């Protein structure tokens, strides 16, 4: 389970920032650059409820981070397991996209932006590992806390 937990924590970084930034037109209007406090929690098959404690990080989001979601998301996901990201789709203030990795893992992310905050979730279907397939759901809450 440690290897899988490590993979999920790696996904946390990807979904925390890269997946939250949006497309070139909408991102700058919906998500402001600055210092963001991001809290993530996860649910993993076979893990007792409450076993994975929420993780909170502070992240500096730069203007260039919120201008092109596709390349940013792809760059972040590449560090995890050589993944490709679909073109992000927008519906009002909600962005969603899918990803597929060379190791057979797939996933879906959905983020909703409200003023200086966002919430979202990422579902990851992992195929690799000694324990066989596993589904992980990661929840994210974030708020802008000021300038970097």
Q: Determine which helix (DSSP H) or strand (DSSP E) holds 37, and give its type and residue range.
A: strand 34-44
* 3-state DSSP assignment of residue 26: helix
Helix axes 2-16, 69-81, angle to 10 degrees: 170
Task: Tell me the per-residue pLDDT of 16-56, one tens digit each, with 9 for 90 and over.
Answer: 444 444 343 444 456 788 999 999 998 887 777 777 789 99
Task: Tell me the per-residue pLDDT of 71-126, one tens digit each, with 9 for 90 and over.
Answer: 555 445 545 557 788 877 888 888 888 988 888 889 998 989 887 899 999 999 98
- Average pLDDT of 130-139? 84
- Beta carbons of 39 and 53 less than 8 angstroms apart: no
> Using the 8-state DSSP alphabet, how is residue 8 labeled?
H
pLDDT at 70 > cutoff 70: no
pLDDT at 144 > cutoff 90: yes
Radius of gyration of the chain (CA): 15
| pTM of the model as a whole | 0.72
Domain span at residue 53 reads: 2-146
Alpha-carbon gap, residue 60 to 65, rounded angstroms: 9
- Beta carbons of 15 and 138 less than 8 angstroms apart: yes
Number of domains in the chain: 1
- Average pLDDT of 60-73? 68
Instruction: For residue 127, give both structure tokens.
Output: 């195929």
What residues pair up with 100 in beta bridges, in sequence order?
84, 106
């Amino acid at each position: 389970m440690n290897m899988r937990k490590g993979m999920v924590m790696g996904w946390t970084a990807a979904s925390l920032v890269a997946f939250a930034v949006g497309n070139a037109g909408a991102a700058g209007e919906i998500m402001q650059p600055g210092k963001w406090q991001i809290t993530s929690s996860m649910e993993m098959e076979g893990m007792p409820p409450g076993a994975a404690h929420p993780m909170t990080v502070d992240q500096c989001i730069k203007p260039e981070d919120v201008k092109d979601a596709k390349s940013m998301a792809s760059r972040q996901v590449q560090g995890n397991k050589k993944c490709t990201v679909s073109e992000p789709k927008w519906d009002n203030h909600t962005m969603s996209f899918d990803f597929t990795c060379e190791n057979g893992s797939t996933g879906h992310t959905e983020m909703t932006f409200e003023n200086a905050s966002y919430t979202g979730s990422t579902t990851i279907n992992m195929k690799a590992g000694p324990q066989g397939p596993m589904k992980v759901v990661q929840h994210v809450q974030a708020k802008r806390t000021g300038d970097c």
